[in-house]
Amino acid sequence: MGRSWWGWGNDEDALAGPELTALTDRVAGLLPGADLTDHEPPKVADLGLRPPRVRPPNSLAGLCSADPADRAAHAHGKAFRDVVRNLRGELAHVPDVIARPRTEQDVVDLLDWCTTAGVAAIPFGGGSSVVGGVEPRFEGPAVTIDLGGLDQVVEIDRTSRAARIQAGVFGPHLEDQLRPHGLSLRHFPQSFEFSTLGGWLATRAGGHYATLHTHIDDLVESTRVITPSGVSESRRLPGSGAGPSPDRLFLGSEGTLGIITEAWMRLQDRPTHRANASLNFADYASAVAATRAVAQSGLHPANCRLLDPAEAFLNAGVTTGGGVLVLGFESADHPVDSALARAVEICQDHGGEVSEGGKNPSAHWRGSFLRMPYQRDALARRSMIVETFETACTWDRFDSLHAAVTTAATDAIRQIAGVGLVTCRFTHVYPDGPAPYFGVYAPGTWGQTVAQWDEIKTAVSDALAANGGTITHHHAVGRDHRPWYDRQRPDPFAAALTAAKSTLDPAGILNPGVLI
Amino acid sequence: MGRSWWGWGNDEDALAGPELTALTDRVAGLLPGADLTDHEPPKVADLGLRPPRVRPPNSLAGLCSADPADRAAHAHGKAFRDVVRNLRGELAHVPDVIARPRTEQDVVDLLDWCTTAGVAAIPFGGGSSVVGGVEPRFEGPAVTIDLGGLDQVVEIDRTSRAARIQAGVFGPHLEDQLRPHGLSLRHFPQSFEFSTLGGWLATRAGGHYATLHTHIDDLVESTRVITPSGVSESRRLPGSGAGPSPDRLFLGSEGTLGIITEAWMRLQDRPTHRANASLNFADYASAVAATRAVAQSGLHPANCRLLDPAEAFLNAGVTTGGGVLVLGFESADHPVDSALARAVEICQDHGGEVSEGGKNPSAHWRGSFLRMPYQRDALARRSMIVETFETACTWDRFDSLHAAVTTAATDAIRQIAGVGLVTCRFTHVYPDGPAPYFGVYAPGTWGQTVAQWDEIKTAVSDALAANGGTITHHHAVGRDHRPWYDRQRPDPFAAALTAAKSTLDPAGILNPGVLI
């Protein structure tokens, strides 16, 4: 299979045939008059990439590539603005060298070279960043260190249900290696097929569980990180209170403090008991109240996704006045029917009605979930602005945040595109608040859709900040969220993080422009 | 009520009358020939404390005390070695001034004074540290900043179930303020009555829940910290992935980076459903296997304490070959009988037998739990070595760790005291490992029991380190665990933490000797 250099996933999985026709017909029906002309991606040979400005030393040359297709494929992440810039051949910043370490010593040697030569080093997992996390958006040469060669489950401790895993492994290959042992990491972000363990750790990715262990953070037993100042390896522990957690400094460090090469991860037995239900609501406020009650019940559903009416219609084909709550419970130990029954009862107390027969939104949701990025690409080629952004806030602030963000997005869309749609779903919920995930769909103008999206993004990010939301719940900060992140984090913490960075990466080579 | 300056808790709650007689008789029966002469604490006036070496500026004098009893009561924590040194009048390091801020601005002003004057500042909550965390064990003057005046629940968000709480509040007063709202923090460490929210946060205290949210860390929504370089306040969020967590840097910082003055904490509804059981085991290996299976079941018991046979006999009055597992489930939302039934079934599969009638170890345990420190003090006055230490390790290492630690302790006791007892219970359990808590009981020699304990502590701490345990799961590092902590934490992390400290506390006044 061939990975797409310009868009999501694999070339051969891109929308085509009836699936593509159905989508474009649907959009054309919703947006009469929109210019949906297809714009094909350029050929890499036509990109006119500037020649590499650095050459690796002979000792590392065997790990390194300066192939234009390789460099182009590592220049951007996979956000809407990345894909569109690729489609338009606008690759202003491209790494000079792609290095593929085969051993941890290779990583050490590569960082040594970069430190000595003063070359920026960008750690790269699956490259699925949607926040500009892997883009060398700075002057000066850059080496992108692609960890895909470090992809092994090295050791399994069945007793403690944990495994030592190399950071460059992609989701499916990781699960393939765990399956014979009856174990699973059960970390399934939307990017699962095209992202790596190291990427999940460096960005504090959000995964499978809608409640409880929502971020990968909680699944980490210990980490091993190569910094320019030495190797930081924490002790494998189920829990500890010995000073601030070393792991928590590197989790979310987005490649600025070191390169994670291995981690001991906590695993799960594969579930044998499952129970699912979907509930339709007549009004959104009741749906939110029901979701909050479930989140505060201590039932810990594995899935608890509230789709607003637009989201439910677009992605699950269900028409409701107030949206659909998709609930799922699972266990490897005991039946979960009574937990589901109680959650359903809570929802019914808030006016929810169990969705009977017809399309199962739960199953339908899962299928469309993994196709979404491919649909996004098909629409991006046709001048559509299609992007998502996500946050989290406490429950007391959700109504005002939701209203403000929706208004900000809608106003921006109206000015830019005239018409469009803003949707909201919860990807994760906590006892003290939800993690809302917004979608924006609007007809743009070819050649301007990046600037148009950036304008919308500024409006919604300002609204998030003004209403107590985080600039990111699980997409990380990267370069795109930086202005709002700088306002969000406490100044003394920023100073402490900068001091830590200066100590661990004195030459400042690691992922410049991100976080610090 | 009068707080004891030398020992645990309140003077009037110390063991006396029949309770004292019963304990000493029991010990005398177990240790015939041991010298159990009672040694009364000295009077503060006889301690001969050196006069304060610093005086606060006039603007702060109203917050400050140089009263000898006050200074003596703030000199040590409440470890065995602290209590015995108090009993012997050995107060080598006593704070010069006790400051009691009434407002956050007072905290700022006190840190400004200490920074300018180059005086060490020791943050002090309840003073229940058992690791030397509040002792000015260094040369040079010290101001102890006692936060007891900042004890209010300032704001409650019932919708999100969270409250903004001042750091100096003690456990009971905190719960008193939450009870009218039907809410609870449900953080009940053994020190609950005599420790504060700020202390729990600064030391990553372990609380009520034996599984899942074991440390206070998970209950934190945001923190407000006064550092010498400014105020660090994180945004209230139910979850976030925006860079490394600012809160996690301050959690466990043990007063070295700043003084926590407030936190937004996640609260619980008060439980209305409860179910408890105790299971007796014929052999310890089966009991451990059963506990592991329960920990890995996803049932999340609130209580899951495995007492080894000695612990079960001493503290629950139950004779078994393999120990007792105390299980408890609770919920504010739904019945928990089926969860308990499944946990019991798991235990029965491992040979556990439900304890019927007679003493209920679960209830008995709870009662004796809070009396333990008072019993410790009564025995410390009678030359007994009575101390605990705790750790956590992965399940695969537990057998060897348990054997090595027990052997190390037993050998040390044999050389020092001839006879003695080593017990073990689990305070918390995780899917990937237990948090074992050991007790040591041995007859010592008056005037030497601190040195004798220190010798035992060195032996067991070395054994912990050699067998993959953490030097502390929930007691913090303080000054007593420092040598093993330094070996445990990764060097690059130590360097990063030191750099953060230099930035936040450039004069190095905050709790010198702890962590950094």
Q: Mind listing the pLDDT tens digit of every residue in chain A (516 residues)? A: 589 999 999 999 999 999 999 999 999 998 888 999 999 999 999 999 999 999 999 999 999 999 999 999 999 999 999 999 999 999 999 999 999 999 999 999 999 999 999 999 999 999 999 999 999 999 999 999 999 999 999 999 999 999 999 999 999 999 999 999 999 999 999 999 999 999 999 999 999 899 999 999 999 999 999 999 999 999 999 999 999 999 999 999 999 999 999 999 999 999 999 999 999 999 999 999 999 999 999 999 999 999 999 999 887 788 999 999 999 999 999 999 999 999 999 999 999 999 975 455 566 666 777 899 999 999 999 999 999 999 999 999 999 999 999 999 999 999 999 999 999 999 999 999 999 999 999 999 999 999 999 999 999 999 999 999 999 999 999 999 999 999 999 999 999 999 999 999 999 999 999 999
* Domain B155-269 CATH assignment equals 3.30.465.10: yes
Nearest beta carbon to residue B215 from set A204, A241, A495:
A241
Which ranges in B122-196 belong to alpha helices (H)? 171-178
Measured distance CA(B460)–CA(B402) in Å, rounded:
10
Please give the residue of chain A at the shortest CA–CA distance from B211. A239
Which ranges in B317-386 belong to alpha helices (H)? 337-349, 361-380
- The helix (H) or strand (E) run that includes residue A469 is none
Nearest beta carbon to residue B246 from set A206, A333, A490:
A490
- For B281, phi and psi rounded to 5 degrees? -125, 150
- Look up the pTM and report it: 0.97
How far A293 CA lies from chain B's nearest CA (Å)? 10
Q: Which fold has domain A271-362?
A: Alpha-Beta Plaits (3.30.70)
- What does the domain layout of chain B look like in residue ranges? 11-16+39-149, 155-269, 271-362
Tell me the pairing of strands A120-124 and A142-146.
parallel
Give SS3 for B274. strand
Paired with A260 in beta bridges are A225
A230 vs B contacts (CB less than 8 Å): 491-492
DSSP secondary structure of A385-419: EEEEEE----HHHHHHHHHHHHHHHHHHHHHHHS-
Crossing angle of helices A395-417 and A284-295, rounded to 10°? 140
Q: Which fold has domain A11-16+39-149?
A: 3.30.43
| DSSP classification of residue B48 | -
Paired with A119 in beta bridges are none
Please give the residue of chain B at the shortest CA–CA distance from A465. B235
DSSP secondary structure of A254-275: TTSS-EEEEEEEE-EEPP-EEE
Mapped to the 3 state alphabet, what secondary structure does B403-467 carry? Answer: HHHHHHHHHHHHHHHCCCEEEEEEEEEECCEEEEEEEEEEECCCCCHHHHHHHHHHHHHHHHHHC
Give SS3 for B176. helix
- Put simply, the answer to whether A266 touches B432 (Cβ < 8 Å) is yes
- Put simply, the answer to whether A160 touches B229 (Cβ < 8 Å) is no
B262 vs A contacts (CB less than 8 Å): none
User: Which of B203, B333, B342, B399 to mutate to probe the A interface, most A CBs <10 Å?
Assistant: B333
DSSP secondary structure of A313-352: HHHH----SSEEEEEEEEESSS--HHHHHHHHHHHHHTT-
